[in-house]
Structure 1
Amino acid sequence: MVLVGEFFLAGDDESAVLVGPRNSHDFPAVPCDGIYPDDAVPRWEALLTGAESPLRHVVPMANDGFTVFAVPQTLSTALTSAGTDQLRRTALTWAETVSEMGDEFGPGSAVDLLERLSALAVSRAERGLNLYCWYFAP
């Protein structure tokens, strides 16, 4: 199980590589503890857009269980434009899928996460920043 992780905004890859579990930062962020974001992001993108983009790793996962990746632009845009009902349906479908695979992430928590991630994506667009995610899964 993932111990810690978060989606965050940064100006570029060089700034994004400085973020991690032991590195405090001032970037706007949304915690995503308890999930595997590199599995969730493609699923959310497929549910919201019907397509799936490959993840671009800024810090590839190594034996230490840490990674940083850029959230695909298509998902960032979809999160920005998605309505409340669409986000809710996506979150509930994803939560059900995760539960079927043996991981537990409650429907309410899933909706809250996607709503907060959507707000972060809107902020990304307004500020001209990029959306990234780091997580640590030992």
Structure 2
Amino acid sequence: MVRVGEFFLAGDDESARRVGPRHSHDFPAVPCDGIYPDDAVLAWGAQLTSAESALRDVVPMANDGFAVFALPEPVCAALAAAGRDRLRSTALAWAEAAFEPGDEISLDDAVNLLERVSALAGRRVEKHLNLYCWYFAP
């Protein structure tokens, strides 16, 4: 199954709704192809906050396989505050637990993605933006 998507910063839900696989934008973004980012964010949140956080749908997934969601504030705050070691251990736990054969992500790729999303989460406060993710999983 092809999965493409990206984490991105936007000012509001209306702006976030206009982002997608065929829509260019100039928002700060980090690609997240090859994963299910909704599952990833829930796993990261559980690891980083020791609590469950619900994603907020901005564009609920329909039959076309496209969705946009906002990351929960506690997860954003934890991502922004986490140091390299904490991100690495979170990435390791996620990479080991979340993937089935054929859907693996390397530890290096998992760490790289988590570090880049963490940087976005840190920038959201200074820029007064929100952290979102769109993905397409037909």
TM-score (norm 1): 0.96
Q: CA RMSD in A?
A: 0.9
Aligned to 1:14: 14
Q: What residue identity is the alignment partner of 1:97?
A: A
Q: Residue 69 of structure 1 contacts residue 132 of structure 1 at CA under 8 Å; is this kept in 2?
A: yes
For each residue in 1:94-119, what CA deviation from the matched residue of structure 2 results, as whole angstroms up to 9, or x when unmatched? 001123x3321111000000000011
Q: What residue identity is the alignment partner of 1:105?
A: I
Aligned to 1:94: 94
Q: Distance in 2 between matches of 1:96 and 1:2?
A: 21
Q: What residue identity is the alignment partner of 1:15?
A: S
Shift of 1:25: 0.2
Shift of 1:53: 1.1
Aligned to 2:71: 71
Q: Distance in 2 between matches of 1:48 and 1:32?
A: 19
Aligned to 2:126: 126
Q: Distance in 2 between matches of 1:60 and 1:8?
A: 17
Q: Distance in 2 between matches of 1:73 and 1:2?
A: 29
Q: What residue identity is the alignment partner of 1:65?
A: G
Q: What residue identity is the alignment partner of 1:29?
A: A
Q: Distance in 1 between matches of 2:42 and 2:53?
A: 7
Shift of 1:2: 4.1
For each residue in 1:5-42, what CA deviation from the matched residue of structure 2 results, as whole angstroms up to 9, or x when unmatched? 00000000000000000000000000000000111111
Shift of 1:54: 1.1
Structure 1 unaligned blocks of 5 or more: none
Structure 2 unaligned blocks of 5 or more: none
Q: Residue 12 of structure 1 contacts residue 130 of structure 1 at CA under 8 Å; is this kept in 2?
A: yes
Q: Residue 6 of structure 1 contacts residue 30 of structure 1 at CA under 8 Å; is this kept in 2?
A: yes
Q: Distance in 1 between matches of 2:80 and 2:40?
A: 17
Change (3 A) 1:57 1:2: farther
